[in-house]
Structure 1
């Protein structure tokens, strides 16, 4: 996996994982600091037995980007020839060579054959080892760490593997990963709380009492469906609705307790889209998810109401929208729980979910959903829009790399995955910035990129706005009202080839005037966002009244609706879906097809952030969609 997503060597020094090679061993993983809430307690008991688990490298995983480019780059002979789910599973299963290599090494190291087992999915080799054996095998020392909840966990600071084994093993547990299964009730796991009140989501300035003109003259104050259609030249009625469906939502769909209210959709419809009255999305329940009505208010309904009212409104009532509702009211869910439902192989890929981050089903603690975990139970729609994100630093490089590979698999199958880029400019969620020791605080000074926005295999969406006193017919500016468009440079992922020309031009022509130690200035890292769309002053019906809503939470579903209509046009013409769009939109054939945004910036971390400039920039990406131009260009492709 490390070669799949080459970690950028940071001038920041945040994730310096390199170590001198100690022949024949070399450092495989190293932790830079003990996670919050944990403290070193004592040396592990010498008489203890450790259940070592070796996560085996997936076959062909180093070539996943090449495979994805073959079906996604407009100049490729295989453009649009997307894979089946079976093709994906068959291609990436661990090889017999990998299994044999690790097993042989263990046997040669004195581990008896009866203590070595391969899991049914061939993703793991498990060994019951004494402490002495484990420390000898991995050239490390194990300690016991205590958590504020009273839980204890066995871990080491780093570990090593022989050079001939390194290519066959992604990681080993227990080692540097703090994967002790802490109860959801402790509230310490960031990934599974994405749908909880207070999570990063859209912002509101409260109740809307204004008057919306019928001639678009108030679009600089109040955004409606008509404003967006005019801004982005979206004059289209879908015709291939039986072949097309748009998966929409916050954080990879909707995450309980976030839920929409049908009465709010009806209220919105009566004012802006009469055909939507009484129309509900097609709901797919995942891990006990349902549209709860026990709790209401903007924190519970704002995201879902926004996504569905504008997502359904822009694709018109003729196009059915699929809603994935993920997680129960007790355990909640994470992006990985959703991805498990789309791809059964992901449930066990690279060792499966991390229950310090991902919800566990059936609920092991009682009171939650006790049915079977959703694993390959949902069919992915052609476009999936997500309006939440984490800070990249919230998660380990391994966790993000594993998830990023799954987005590449979805792209191989013809799915377009969009994520909002964040609402705090160059700072992370809740305006947190990085410190040199890897921690995040509001008084930090180092730029804090988002995830999955920095994954090279998704399309990251920033936010724009109509400038004050401007009209809907004039160029937009970067959003600087209530929120700032998230953007910048990854600390985890290398720059993909498809964006090198655009990003290198930006860095050479408009070099950011900041010290190299507060942002990833190497020029080698994944840059985001890729595109943008309006993210200010949306009129949304929430709990029976209209509110003004702001955020890249607005931008992502609007972009998703536009790409859904492009899919419709291609499907009607007998062509494939557009799938992973980044290689296409960065290509010379699509140059100038987005509305370039050249004004505004994205402040954060005590700075003005980056500037919007001609061409790609780390505030608004390539710009906002122009449907008329884009659909014509995509229809011209095979």
Structure 2
């Protein structure tokens, strides 16, 4: 295999340009102002190191996808709830044949034939595995090994790449090249390790909605606490509605822990392996993130069937093996897989992300479009909002970690991605009873995506009250998040056979997703479609179905961050769900 790739290197470096590319100059396709903060350039990448690259082809019908989801998610539109099939979605995702042909011709000039290409189900993405030397020739760049100082993670990246000018209208991006995102779990802390649990208070306290809730829920959150807080304890699902959570970075969900958590030896969930993913059931391999997600998403929605998607990939890279490096851009692989399925879950929760500015704009837009496509097929997509408040989680005025990577080195709030995508429902965190904002709850305004119309009234009201506070630190016209919130502190989970506590918006997203699955079940039982993309309903008729959280803030970037208040805010969104009210709204629309 090694000699075959070295032969390819020689062929690629000595190719004669195909007629279409003769005299065609290279033009920069993407570039950074410098090495992103926190990353350090090391040695040049080994020339024979294999790397995996994804070439995204232009999608001329993407605007039709957007039109469809706007109509299908608007309760006032006649097409509300009319979702696309897999085939219909693929047709709108597909590139023009001319784009396919010119990209194949370009790849052939570098010694890459059909046997070297993997095409996505819709044909809009081509994946190649090539030695660094070939990639450098193709992209007119130099790759280096970069190390992330805080985590020790390494990656092969560049700060700029070029393509023949002829390709620019046909290729949206080639990644990971200029992408420095690490896509980490949105989990802030773990404690109670070794099975040592907190001393639980007795008696009851009042929730924000005035309901009696066990006082112990101020010490740790359990399924019973969520049932009491969010008013779904008496609901009994009656359909085959399903839900799912995603797992990355070799986070494995342990079934024995799941059964112990629920106290039910017959409890189970389905594991679907994506792109070579695994789900090691050795107790020592159980992942805190994965266990948290399945135990609370599927626990809230029990007995609805749950699926755990395990997508391959590990964050570190050791540049001494002749095998493909981990691209650490798992969303494209996962989206390609799931969008090629005929039947999909009614709701999918993900608790991973990173700073938006570490993600190239074109990549972020394509991934967000993938979530948009899921919504157009009837899937509600939820994401954790992040655990760093408005940036780095620090209110210390001397904090200098929130630096814009646009060349100005200005202090800026740092929004998270995919939390900032306007086609997902982003979930922030609360704590205590009655609920207040958790200080780590991620929230803010996108620098990539414009504010969607469904948010205009709610966000404009917040901005009017904010006035000039933090002017220049955030993009007031950007997509605002979170959309909603749920408890996110001291969740009791089972990990490796022992109880431990977990905090973070990683807790909030699966908990909220479980509630949405129950609402979808009620709609299906009534002969209606699942909700699909949630936000237009939530910001409209559904706004009154949430417990408004009016206390707390989310510090970061040397500030106290935004403050929770009456109505929507970029700490807790619209608030936490009242299942009974949300079900009523969903059935009335």
Shorter-chain TM band: 0.7 to 0.9
The whole-number CA distance in structure 2 between the counterparts of 1:293 and 1:277 is 16
The whole-number CA distance in structure 2 between the counterparts of 1:142 and 1:636 is 57
1:217 aligned to 208, 215, 218, which one?
215
More deviation in 385-394 or 285-294?
285-294
CA contact (8 A) 1:433 1:447 kept: no
CA contact (8 A) 1:236 1:565 kept: no
CA RMSD of aligned residues (A): 4.2
Deviations 1:379-433 (A, max 9, x none): 5311101122122122211211111110011001000110000111011599994
Q: What SS does structure 2 have at the residue aligned with 1:278?
A: coil
CA contact (8 A) 2:190 2:500 kept: yes
Deviations 1:177-218 (A, max 9, x none): 448xxxxxxxx9735xx4xxxx55252232314246475122
Q: What SS does structure 1 have at the residue aligned with 2:581?
A: helix
Q: Structure 1 residue 303: deviation in Å?
A: 1.7
Q: Structure 1 residue 290: deviation in Å?
A: 3.1
The whole-number CA distance in structure 2 between the counterparts of 1:338 and 1:72 is 23
The whole-number CA distance in structure 1 between the counterparts of 2:161 and 2:170 is 21
Q: Could you tell me which runs of 5 or more consecutive residues in structure 2 were left unpaired when the two chains were aligned.
A: 1-25, 45-52, 128-137, 148-153, 205-213, 317-324
CA contact (8 A) 2:437 2:572 kept: yes
Q: Structure 1 residue 607: deviation in Å?
A: 0.8
Is the aligned partner of 1:258 residue 2:251? yes
More deviation in 261-270 or 624-633?
261-270
CA contact (8 A) 2:72 2:376 kept: yes
Is the aligned partner of 1:549 residue 2:502? yes
Q: What is the match of residue 324 of structure 1?
A: 309
Change (3 A) 1:169 1:321: closer
The whole-number CA distance in structure 2 between the counterparts of 1:97 and 1:282 is 41
Is the aligned partner of 1:495 residue 2:451? yes
Q: Structure 1 residue 543: deviation in Å?
A: 2.6
Q: Within 5 A, what are the aligned runs for 1:11-22? A: none
The whole-number CA distance in structure 2 between the counterparts of 1:342 and 1:54 is 19
Q: What SS does structure 1 have at the residue aligned with 2:273?
A: strand
Q: Normalising by structure 1, what TM-score?
A: 0.70
The whole-number CA distance in structure 1 between the counterparts of 2:258 and 2:408 is 38
1:341 aligned to 310, 332, 337, which one?
337
The whole-number CA distance in structure 1 between the counterparts of 2:256 and 2:55 is 51
Q: What SS does structure 2 have at the residue aligned with 1:548?
A: strand
Is the aligned partner of 1:513 residue 2:469? yes
Change (3 A) 1:156 1:303: closer
Q: Structure 1 residue 552: deviation in Å?
A: 0.7
* Count of residue pairs the alignment pairs up: 510
The whole-number CA distance in structure 2 between the counterparts of 1:96 and 1:255 is 33
Q: Structure 1 residue 539: deviation in Å?
A: 2.0
Q: What SS does structure 1 have at the residue aligned with 2:544?
A: coil
Q: Could you tell me which runs of 5 or more consecutive residues in structure 1 were left unpaired when the two chains were aligned.
A: 1-24, 42-51, 127-137, 180-187, 271-275, 345-375, 467-471
Q: What is the match of residue 21 of structure 1?
A: none
Q: What SS does structure 2 have at the residue aligned with 1:389?
A: strand
Change (3 A) 1:27 1:499: farther
The whole-number CA distance in structure 1 between the counterparts of 2:488 and 2:125 is 44
2:229 aligned to 228, 231, 251, which one?
231
The whole-number CA distance in structure 2 between the counterparts of 1:547 and 1:53 is 39
Q: Structure 1 residue 241: deviation in Å?
A: 3.1
Q: What SS does structure 2 have at the residue aligned with 1:218?
A: helix
Q: What is the match of residue 573 of structure 2?
A: 621
Q: What is the match of residue 73 of structure 1?
A: 74
Q: What is the match of residue 482 of structure 2?
A: 529
CA contact (8 A) 1:432 1:440 kept: no
Change (3 A) 1:304 1:177: closer
Q: What is the match of residue 478 of structure 1?
A: 437
Q: What is the match of residue 299 of structure 2?
A: 313
The whole-number CA distance in structure 2 between the counterparts of 1:429 and 1:286 is 33
Deviations 1:542-598 (A, max 9, x none): 2333223211111111100100000000000110000000111111x2232211111
The whole-number CA distance in structure 2 between the counterparts of 1:80 and 1:389 is 29
Q: What is the match of residue 87 of structure 1?
A: 88
CA contact (8 A) 2:243 2:306 kept: yes
